[in-house]
Amino acid sequence: MSLNSEIVECMRCERLSAYIREVARKKVRRFSGEKYWGRPLPGFGDPSARLLIVGLAPAAHGGNRTGRMFTGDSSGNWLARALYETGFANKPSSLHREDGFELKGAYITAVVRCAPPQNKPTRKEIENCNEYLVREFKLLKSVRVVLCLGSIALKGTLKALKKIYPESNLKGIKFGHGLVYKPEGLPYTLITSYHPSKQNTQTGRLRWEEWVEVFREIRSELEGS
């Protein structure tokens, strides 16, 4: 069984498994006519990606509905547009699995594969999913830049990297918007950014120009490597 197939069939977290299926059954009024995915989500993108984007988890009525990370909600729209403007995607919107949206040199994943209630996974739930992130790092051999969207994504990424590179020095890596790290013992540049959630974009914590500038810096980093 492939990694993505294992992820889709995963039921390690009883709370999350029950929640995503309940959301898929009840739905919300604006999507009442749609069939929800309602299962864990694998990552997606270019197998030869040089950029790996790590989010927190699928959104209950975004990825958990559409069956693809960062698809079908405002966060996905912000990410797709920025990726398109900087040459990492073929179109500026990510609406559903059959919309023709493709990543170019990029791969998207998350530290938790099921939508958690209130976007708050437990420590145990993050640990249960960490093996999948470890295996993705090992499979995506061309990655050179890792973008962590939010503090939980950063913590989960560091946990996975420490398992793969136990001799690496990850001390002093803290979350903040637009921070760049080149840790000793890692073959990656780590970059941190606010997540493009409504909580950040609608409050002005994350402005469009600040957001897209992160991807411009990533493009420059990759072109210089």
C-alpha span between 225 and 68 (Å, rounded): 30
Give me the half-sphere count of Cα atoms (radius 13 Å) on the Cβ side of residue 24.
Answer: 21
The total number of structural domains in the chain stands at: 1
pLDDT of residue 199: 94
Has residue 191 got a pLDDT over 70? yes
**What is the distance in angstroms between the CA of the first residue and the CA of the last residue of the chain?**
35
Is the model's pLDDT at 71 over the cut of 80? Answer: yes
pLDDT in tens, 25-53: 999 999 999 999 999 999 999 999 999 99
Does residue 21 contact residue 115 with C-beta atoms inside 8 Å?
Answer: no
Please name which of 81, 64, 75 lies closest in space to residue 18, comparing C-alpha atoms.
Answer: 64
The residue behind tokens 């749609």 is: 34
Q: How far apart, in whole angstroms, are the C-alpha atoms of residue 178 and residue 20?
A: 32
Confidence of residue 5 (pLDDT cuts 50, 70, 90): very high
Q: What CATH code is carried by the domain that includes residue 97?
A: 3.40.470.10
Q: How far apart are CA 223 and CA 65, in angstroms?
A: 36
User: What residue numbers bound the domain in which 186 lies?
Assistant: 3-224
φ and ψ of 92, to 5 deg: -90, 15
**Do 35 and 23 contact (CB within 8 A), yes or no?**
no
Ordered DSSP codes for 128-161: HHHHHHHHHHHH-TT--EEEEESHHHHHHHHHHH
* pLDDT per residue as tens digits for the range 133-181: 999 999 999 999 999 999 999 999 999 999 999 999 999 999 999 999 9
* pLDDT one-digit tens code per residue, 98-135: 999 999 999 999 999 999 999 999 999 999 999 999 99
